[in-house]
Amino acid sequence: MSETIERAGSGMQAAQAPAPGGGGATRLARKRHSPDGWWPALFILPLAAGIGLFYLWPLLQSVYYSFTEWGVFGGSTWTGVENYVRLMQDPDVLRAIVNTLVYTGILLVGIPIAVVFAALLNRPGLRFAMIYRTCFFLPYIAMPTAISMVWRIIYNNDYGVINSTLRVVGIEGPAWISTEWFSLVAVAIVGLWMSIGFNMIILSAGLKGIPPELYEASAIDGAGKGRQFRSITVPLLTPSIFFLSVMTFIAGFQLFDMLYALLGPTNPVMPKTQSLVFLFYDAAFGANEKGYASAIGVLILLIIGLFTLVQFRLQRRWVHYAD
Amino acid sequence: MRFPHAIIGAAAVALLLSGCTSGSSGDATGPINLPEDPASVTGDISYAIWDVNQQPAMEKLIADFNTTYPNVDVSVELTAFPQYFTKLQTQGSSGTLPDVFWMNGPNLQLFASNDMLAPLEPFEDADLFDPSNYPSAMNDIYTYDGTQYGVPKDFDTIALFYNKAILARAGVEAPTADWTWDDYHAAAKKISDTLGGEGIIGSGDSTRNQENVYPAVLSNGGTIIDGDKSGYDSPEAVEALQFWADMVADGSSLTPAANADTEGFDRFLNGQVGLVWGGNWRVSGVLESAVAADVSVAELPLAPTGERKTVIHGVANAMSAHSDNPEAAQAFLSYLGSEEAALIQAEAGAANPAFNGTQQDFVDSAPGMNLQVFEDAATDYAEAYPVSKNTGAWNKVELDLLPQAFSGERPVADVAKDLADQMNEALAKEK
């Protein structure tokens, strides 16, 4: 979802887009005299140059600018930790962290849902499997802004399909996009709905990797479908589930475009619903405080880095690798 | 074998230096001497705009400009409004601004104070620009530190839109120029009370700064910015905000939450609202709507002070202070400020031109709607749209806090005090 930040036209997107899985890189034993010489390095160079120029360099710049007050047209003055002091005293920041965590938490629910759907769709002999898969994947490839516009109509309190239906059965639904907390849940539901497709594709690939012999053997031992799902499918899917939880967390912390399009920037509940990236956007392009915005960017980077690290530490306890 | 290197190096330096001097032969900010023969002005310039609806009119202007200056090639760069100023800032910091571009009030001082814009004094000295051709409040918006930087292109003022059919059904007389805020409130209340069962509400007003808050505060003798201080905590401003809060409280007007779901003016276009304050840019939308035949326009009601005020705002054309082809850009900007250009714009129905006396086409675009009200507002009781060097910073504060006052969540006076404090903080940072 790093395109959300790029759309905001910032040169600081790298601050929110740490390379996923960086902490799990395997360490290769380095040979002093490689028989390949410097050829491998040459092949990596174009990509490395691109990443260096468009990710690492802006990231370092963002860190630098977070210690400055940055003029709108360039030119910055060193202000030390002033932006960070302000960050810690800003009640909006705390609220944005809470909002972002709630949003990400709801998004994580999408993983177990996707596990169930993926297992159902992978049952042998299922008819129209391709059609189902396309239906689930479609929201993921559609433009988030376009999707938000559609959901804005669905959620509308006056004529939206949800509250109109509730009214038929005598329930007065909440004003979804203009009531505190409901607005956040409304955004998260759309995010969840969009993420199922991607989650399912990853999980389907994981399911295809489970040897069929395991199911046969367990069937001979008398295991039913439910037991097979719990004792074979889920444990052997844990590497995929782990990957998804890391990705979901990163995507969740980059919530911006959907929030912006679904609620609208002038929505009265926006101050109570805004995410960290929204705050960053507002500081950078609303208030023209790009130094402070950089500090928010660095904060997002640190939070994502910290949670990713924790997840990699915890994975030893619950992730089973097949070998 | 070192010698040749030195020669090559010296040659390169010489080339660079000569390149520099040739690049700075034109000056975008000094005195203007356009050549006698327009055909001798040559080259490419870019013209940045944000409204796709106005692009055809802008192309027409360029075609007309080319009849006088056949050898200048003007290319239009269209960027949607939400990205427009972000892009312009980026271009400004990398020295790649378009030669001529649209500017708005909230951004003028930011760009002017950073030496991004060509001042208009040289144009005046060369008789290529005359501020007296435009409403004076428009000139004020585009003046920073005593120097004007933008040639007003179009303007908008605020008036009262009303739906005759809804008013008639609710038994409310059509608004007149003598209406006071109390009359307005009573009429809106009567509509809500009579037709509320059908989902029709009296007023579609909301927390829109430009259309509701600013005109009310100014009408009541208050200010938004007074020098370098916020005017929101003055008793006049608080009274004006209270007027809107009272309207919301008894159901005469929409709550901020209801506005977030379906905007007040959209409800007006759907025939669900009887009265609403709106700018003249709304007219084309009204004409395309189902209620077009029922809508008319009147003056804003009078505040308790017996006064009425509207804010006036509009787009201006500005020229980059760092244009690579200043001669062509100066010629084009001068043309854009001409009466000829204003008439072409008006004819295309693109916008209400700012050049005095060229608005008749706009007024005639809806003969039954009494659009002359907008033009009279500009000449008789308009005040400049409030801006400062970093308008965006305190616009954000308004956006965050004002809904709390209108929704009744917090007392109006408390919100106004908070708003003024935070706004003063933002204004202090501009120094």
Q: Hey, are the CB atoms on A287 and B116 less than 8 Å from each other?
A: no
Residue B367: predicted pLDDT: 86
Query: Is residue A13's pLDDT more than 60?
Result: no
DSSP codes joined into one string, B357-375: T--HHHHHTSGGG-THHHH
Task: Using an 8 Å CB-CB cutoff, list chain B residues near A157.
Answer: 258, 261-262
Q: Does B428 touch chain A (CB under 8 A)?
A: no
Q: Report the CATH fold assignment for B37-156+314-358.
A: D-Maltodextrin-Binding Protein; domain 2 (3.40.190)
> What Cα–Cα distance (Å) separates residue B251 from each residue in B188, B246, B255, B366?
9, 9, 8, 31
Task: Using an 8 Å CB-CB cutoff, list chain A residues near B256.
Answer: 178, 268
Beta-bridge partner residues of B145? none
CB pairs under 8 A between A and B: 77
What does the pLDDT look like over A214-253, one tens digit per residue? 888 988 988 888 888 888 888 999 999 999 999 999 999 9
Pairing, β B273-279 against β B201-203: parallel
- Quickly state the pLDDT bin for A32 (edges 50, 70, 90): low
The minimal CB distance from B393 to the residues A9, A266, A287 is found for A287
Q: Hey, are the CB atoms on B114 and A178 less than 8 Å from each other?
A: no
Query: Minimal CA–CA distance to A15: which of A274, A280, A202?
Result: A280
Residue B160: predicted pLDDT: 96
Query: ipTM higher than 0.85?
Result: no
The minimal CB distance from B89 to the residues A73, A179, A267 is found for A73
pLDDT tens, position by position, for chain B (431 residues)?
Answer: 344 444 444 444 444 443 333 333 346 777 888 888 888 899 999 999 998 888 988 999 999 999 999 999 999 999 988 789 989 988 998 889 999 999 999 999 999 999 999 999 999 999 999 999 999 889 999 999 999 999 999 999 999 999 999 999 999 999 999 999 999 999 999 999 999 999 899 999 977 889 999 999 999 999 999 888 999 999 999 999 999 999 999 999 999 988 888 889 999 999 999 999 999 888 888 988 899 999 999 999 999 999 999 999 999 999 999 999 999 999 999 999 999 999 988 887 667 899 998 888 888 888 889 999 999 999 899 999 999 988 988 998 998 899 999 989 999 999 999 999 999 999 998 87
Residue B368: predicted pLDDT: 86
Residue B206: predicted pLDDT: 77
What distance in Å separates the CA atoms of residue B329 and residue B321, rounded to the nearest whole number?
10
Query: Minimal CA–CA distance to B381: which of B159, B176, B184, B153?
Result: B159
Q: Report the CATH fold assignment for B158-311+376-429.
A: D-Maltodextrin-Binding Protein; domain 2 (3.40.190)
Q: Hey, are the CB atoms on A157 and B400 less than 8 Å from each other?
A: no
Print burial letters for B155-192: b (CB count within 10 Å at least 16), e (below 16).
Answer: bbbbbbbbbeebbeebebeebeeebebebbbebbbbbb
Q: Strands (DSSP E) along chain A, which ranges?
A: 68-70, 76-78
Task: Using an 8 Å CB-CB cutoff, list chain B residues near A268.
Answer: 207, 256-257, 259-260, 403-404, 407
8 A C-beta contact, residue B149 and residue B318 = yes
**Min CA distance, A182 vs chain B (Å)?**
12
Query: Is residue A30's pLDDT more than 60?
Result: no
Overall CATH class of domain A91-318? mainly alpha
B107-111: long-range contacts at Cβ-Cβ below 8 A with a sequence spacing of 24 or more? B107/B391, B108/B141, B108/B142, B108/B144, B108/B149, B108/B150, B108/B316, B108/B318, B108/B387, B109/B144, B109/B387, B109/B388, B109/B389, B109/B390, B109/B391, B110/A72, B110/A288, B110/B389, B110/B390, B110/B391, B111/B149, B111/B318
Q: Does A72 touch chain B (CB under 8 A)?
A: yes
Q: Hey, are the CB atoms on A287 and B89 less than 8 Å from each other?
A: no
Suggest the residue from B107, B208, B261 to mutate for an interface test with chain A (most A CBs closer than 10 A): B261
Domain ranges of chain A: 91-318
Query: Minimal CA–CA distance to B244: which of B386, B400, B383, B416?
Result: B416
Residues counted in chain A:
323
The minimal CB distance from B86 to the residues A9, A73, A266 is found for A9
What distance in Å separates the CA atoms of residue A265 and residue B395, rounded to the nearest whole number?
12
Look at A29-33, A161-165, B326-330, B383-387 and tell me which has the smallest mean pLDDT.
A29-33
Q: Does B195 touch chain A (CB under 8 A)?
A: no
Residues of chain B with CATH 3.40.190.10: 37-156+314-358, 158-311+376-429
The minimal CB distance from A177 to the residues B87, B261, B393 is found for B261
8 A C-beta contact, residue A173 and residue A162 = yes
